Chains A and B, each alone.
Chain A
Amino acid sequence: DAKTTQPPSMDCAEGRAANLPCNHSTISGNEYVYWYRQIHSQGPQYIIHGLKNNETNEMASLIITEDRKSSTLILPHATLRDTAVYYCTTWKTSYDKVIFGPGTSLSVIP
Protein backbone atom coordinates (compact mmCIF):
# COMPACT_ATOMS: atom_id res chain seq x y z
CA ASP A 1 0.00 0.00 0.00
CA ALA A 2 1.19 3.50 -0.77
CA LYS A 3 2.28 5.64 2.12
CA THR A 4 0.45 8.94 2.37
CA THR A 5 1.54 12.17 4.01
CA GLN A 6 -0.70 15.05 5.00
CA PRO A 7 -0.17 18.29 6.92
CA PRO A 8 -1.08 17.74 10.57
CA SER A 9 -3.42 20.72 10.78
CA MET A 10 -5.11 23.45 8.73
CA ASP A 11 -7.48 26.35 9.31
CA CYS A 12 -10.18 27.56 6.97
CA ALA A 13 -12.60 30.48 7.21
CA GLU A 14 -16.26 29.57 7.24
CA GLY A 15 -17.78 29.85 3.77
CA ARG A 16 -14.46 29.60 2.00
CA ALA A 17 -13.12 26.58 0.15
CA ALA A 18 -10.99 24.20 2.16
CA ASN A 19 -8.21 22.57 0.16
CA LEU A 20 -6.63 19.58 1.88
CA PRO A 21 -3.50 18.15 0.24
CA CYS A 22 -2.22 14.59 0.32
CA ASN A 23 1.02 13.20 -0.96
CA HIS A 24 1.10 9.59 -2.16
CA SER A 25 4.27 9.57 -4.22
CA THR A 26 4.69 5.79 -4.17
CA ILE A 27 1.18 5.00 -5.35
CA SER A 28 0.97 2.18 -7.88
CA GLY A 29 -1.10 2.07 -11.02
CA ASN A 30 -4.04 0.15 -9.65
CA GLU A 31 -4.33 1.92 -6.32
CA TYR A 32 -7.26 4.21 -5.66
CA VAL A 33 -7.15 7.32 -3.50
CA TYR A 34 -9.79 7.49 -0.76
CA TRP A 35 -10.72 10.28 1.61
CA TYR A 36 -12.46 9.93 4.96
CA ARG A 37 -13.20 12.29 7.78
CA GLN A 38 -13.69 11.74 11.47
CA ILE A 39 -15.60 14.03 13.74
CA HIS A 40 -14.62 13.81 17.37
CA SER A 41 -15.68 10.57 19.07
CA GLN A 42 -17.31 9.14 15.95
CA GLY A 43 -16.17 6.55 13.42
CA PRO A 44 -14.57 7.70 10.15
CA GLN A 45 -16.99 8.66 7.40
CA TYR A 46 -16.34 8.00 3.71
CA ILE A 47 -16.14 11.18 1.59
CA ILE A 48 -14.93 10.40 -1.92
CA HIS A 49 -12.50 8.29 -3.92
CA GLY A 50 -10.83 8.28 -7.34
CA LEU A 51 -8.23 6.62 -9.55
CA LYS A 52 -7.08 9.06 -12.23
CA ASN A 53 -9.87 11.46 -13.01
CA ASN A 54 -11.14 14.25 -10.85
CA GLU A 55 -14.27 13.34 -8.95
CA THR A 56 -17.11 15.32 -7.41
CA ASN A 57 -20.00 14.36 -5.20
CA GLU A 58 -22.40 16.15 -2.88
CA MET A 59 -19.78 16.41 -0.16
CA ALA A 60 -16.56 17.33 -1.92
CA SER A 61 -14.33 17.32 -4.99
CA LEU A 62 -11.18 15.30 -5.47
CA ILE A 63 -8.38 16.55 -7.68
CA ILE A 64 -5.68 14.00 -8.56
CA THR A 65 -2.52 15.18 -10.28
CA GLU A 66 -1.66 13.72 -13.66
CA ASP A 67 1.27 11.75 -12.23
CA ARG A 68 -1.04 10.57 -9.40
CA LYS A 69 1.58 11.36 -6.79
CA SER A 70 -0.66 13.78 -4.95
CA SER A 71 -4.28 14.78 -4.56
CA THR A 72 -6.38 17.55 -3.06
CA LEU A 73 -9.71 17.26 -1.34
CA ILE A 74 -11.82 20.36 -1.80
CA LEU A 75 -14.72 21.29 0.45
CA PRO A 76 -16.23 24.10 -1.62
CA HIS A 77 -17.96 26.08 1.12
CA ALA A 78 -16.65 25.00 4.49
CA THR A 79 -19.00 25.13 7.46
CA LEU A 80 -18.32 24.76 11.17
CA ARG A 81 -19.61 21.19 10.91
CA ASP A 82 -16.71 20.36 8.59
CA THR A 83 -14.29 20.70 11.50
CA ALA A 84 -12.84 17.20 11.70
CA VAL A 85 -9.77 15.08 11.04
CA TYR A 86 -9.44 14.20 7.35
CA TYR A 87 -7.69 11.05 6.27
CA CYS A 88 -6.24 10.32 2.86
CA THR A 89 -5.51 6.68 2.14
CA THR A 90 -4.84 4.41 -0.81
CA TRP A 91 -5.40 0.80 -1.60
CA LYS A 92 -5.32 -1.62 -4.51
CA THR A 93 -8.34 -3.22 -6.04
CA SER A 94 -6.96 -6.63 -5.16
CA TYR A 95 -6.32 -5.75 -1.52
CA ASP A 96 -8.88 -4.85 1.06
CA LYS A 97 -6.71 -3.81 3.94
CA VAL A 98 -7.07 -0.09 4.58
CA ILE A 99 -4.18 1.83 6.10
CA PHE A 100 -4.66 5.24 7.69
CA GLY A 101 -2.06 7.81 8.67
CA PRO A 102 -2.45 10.56 11.27
CA GLY A 103 -4.57 12.72 8.92
CA THR A 104 -5.13 16.50 8.82
CA SER A 105 -7.05 18.23 11.58
CA LEU A 106 -9.17 20.88 9.85
CA SER A 107 -10.54 23.75 11.91
CA VAL A 108 -13.24 25.88 10.29
CA ILE A 109 -13.19 29.31 11.86
CA PRO A 110 -16.25 31.58 12.05
Chain B
Amino acid sequence: DVKVTQSSRYLVKRTGEKVFLECVQDMDHENMFWYRQDPGLGLRLIYFSYDVKMKEKGDIPEGYSVSREKKERFSLILESASTNQTSMYLCASSTPGTSGSPYFGPGTRLTVT
Protein backbone atom coordinates (compact mmCIF):
# COMPACT_ATOMS: atom_id res chain seq x y z
CA ASP B 1 0.00 0.00 0.00
CA VAL B 2 1.49 3.30 -1.09
CA LYS B 3 2.00 5.85 1.57
CA VAL B 4 2.76 9.46 2.14
CA THR B 5 3.26 10.14 5.80
CA GLN B 6 3.54 13.41 7.67
CA SER B 7 5.30 13.76 10.98
CA SER B 8 2.37 15.16 12.93
CA ARG B 9 -1.40 15.37 12.53
CA TYR B 10 -1.73 18.30 14.93
CA LEU B 11 0.88 20.82 15.98
CA VAL B 12 0.72 23.91 18.18
CA LYS B 13 3.57 26.42 18.06
CA ARG B 14 4.22 29.91 19.36
CA THR B 15 4.78 32.99 17.24
CA GLY B 16 8.44 33.32 16.28
CA GLU B 17 9.28 29.64 16.68
CA LYS B 18 11.04 27.73 13.94
CA VAL B 19 8.78 24.92 12.74
CA PHE B 20 9.68 21.80 10.77
CA LEU B 21 7.05 19.77 8.97
CA GLU B 22 8.31 16.46 7.67
CA CYS B 23 6.95 14.39 4.82
CA VAL B 24 8.10 10.93 3.79
CA GLN B 25 6.94 8.84 0.82
CA ASP B 26 7.73 5.21 0.15
CA MET B 27 6.88 5.10 -3.55
CA ASP B 28 10.25 6.25 -4.94
CA HIS B 29 8.51 9.29 -6.44
CA GLU B 30 10.60 12.01 -8.01
CA ASN B 31 8.19 14.86 -7.32
CA MET B 32 7.08 16.14 -3.96
CA PHE B 33 4.83 19.05 -3.05
CA TRP B 34 3.78 21.14 -0.07
CA TYR B 35 0.35 22.77 -0.03
CA ARG B 36 -1.57 24.71 2.53
CA GLN B 37 -5.33 24.56 2.71
CA ASP B 38 -7.54 27.27 4.14
CA PRO B 39 -11.34 27.53 4.15
CA GLY B 40 -12.66 29.06 0.94
CA LEU B 41 -9.22 29.17 -0.69
CA GLY B 42 -8.73 25.56 -1.74
CA LEU B 43 -5.24 24.12 -1.87
CA ARG B 44 -2.42 26.56 -2.54
CA LEU B 45 0.99 25.37 -3.61
CA ILE B 46 3.87 26.53 -1.41
CA TYR B 47 6.89 24.70 -2.86
CA PHE B 48 7.59 21.66 -4.95
CA SER B 49 10.61 19.58 -5.80
CA TYR B 50 11.42 17.58 -8.93
CA ASP B 51 14.44 15.82 -7.53
CA VAL B 52 16.81 15.65 -4.62
CA LYS B 53 18.26 19.07 -3.73
CA MET B 54 15.98 20.75 -6.28
CA LYS B 55 13.14 23.05 -5.36
CA GLU B 56 10.75 25.41 -7.06
CA LYS B 57 8.57 28.12 -5.59
CA GLY B 58 4.87 27.64 -5.82
CA ASP B 59 2.24 30.34 -5.53
CA ILE B 60 2.76 31.34 -1.88
CA PRO B 61 6.38 30.67 -0.87
CA GLU B 62 6.81 33.73 1.36
CA GLY B 63 7.62 32.83 4.92
CA TYR B 64 8.52 29.24 4.04
CA SER B 65 11.56 27.29 2.93
CA VAL B 66 12.04 23.64 2.02
CA SER B 67 14.69 20.98 2.10
CA ARG B 68 15.05 17.79 0.10
CA GLU B 69 18.26 15.97 0.98
CA LYS B 70 16.88 12.50 0.24
CA LYS B 71 14.45 11.39 -2.44
CA GLU B 72 11.88 10.12 0.01
CA ARG B 73 11.83 13.10 2.35
CA PHE B 74 10.62 16.66 1.80
CA SER B 75 10.65 19.11 4.69
CA LEU B 76 8.77 22.37 5.01
CA ILE B 77 10.31 24.97 7.29
CA LEU B 78 8.67 28.00 8.84
CA GLU B 79 11.66 30.10 9.86
CA SER B 80 9.66 32.29 12.22
CA ALA B 81 6.10 31.13 12.61
CA SER B 82 3.34 33.72 12.48
CA THR B 83 -0.35 33.48 13.28
CA ASN B 84 -1.28 33.82 9.59
CA GLN B 85 0.51 30.53 8.99
CA THR B 86 -2.10 28.70 11.02
CA SER B 87 -3.44 26.25 8.46
CA MET B 88 -3.73 22.67 7.25
CA TYR B 89 -0.51 21.61 5.50
CA LEU B 90 -0.64 18.82 2.95
CA CYS B 91 2.27 16.96 1.42
CA ALA B 92 2.00 15.07 -1.85
CA SER B 93 4.24 13.06 -4.14
CA SER B 94 4.06 11.89 -7.73
CA THR B 95 6.02 10.56 -10.66
CA PRO B 96 6.45 12.83 -13.71
CA GLY B 97 3.70 12.73 -16.29
CA THR B 98 0.06 11.88 -16.08
CA SER B 99 0.50 8.24 -15.14
CA GLY B 100 1.55 9.29 -11.69
CA SER B 101 -1.29 11.17 -10.09
CA PRO B 102 -0.19 12.80 -6.85
CA TYR B 103 -0.73 10.91 -3.63
CA PHE B 104 -1.46 13.04 -0.61
CA GLY B 105 -0.53 12.62 3.00
CA PRO B 106 -3.09 12.94 5.82
CA GLY B 107 -2.17 16.56 6.54
CA THR B 108 -0.80 18.47 9.51
CA ARG B 109 -3.05 20.99 11.19
CA LEU B 110 -0.73 23.69 12.50
CA THR B 111 -1.88 26.29 14.98
CA VAL B 112 0.39 29.24 15.70
CA THR B 113 -0.52 31.16 18.85
Contact = CB atoms under 8 A, between A and B. Distances in A.
Interface residues of B, number: 28
B61 interface: no
B58 A97 contact: yes
A49 interface: yes
Interface in A2-39: 32, 34
- Which 10 pairs across A and B sit closest by C-beta, in order of nearness? A43-B104, A100-B43, A102-B42, A46-B101, A32-B98, A44-B104, A96-B31, A100-B42, A101-B42, A43-B106
Interface of A: 32, 34, 41-46, 49, 51, 87, 91, 93, 96-103
Interface of B: 4, 31, 33, 35, 40-43, 45, 48, 50, 56, 58-59, 90, 92, 94, 96-98, 101-107, 109
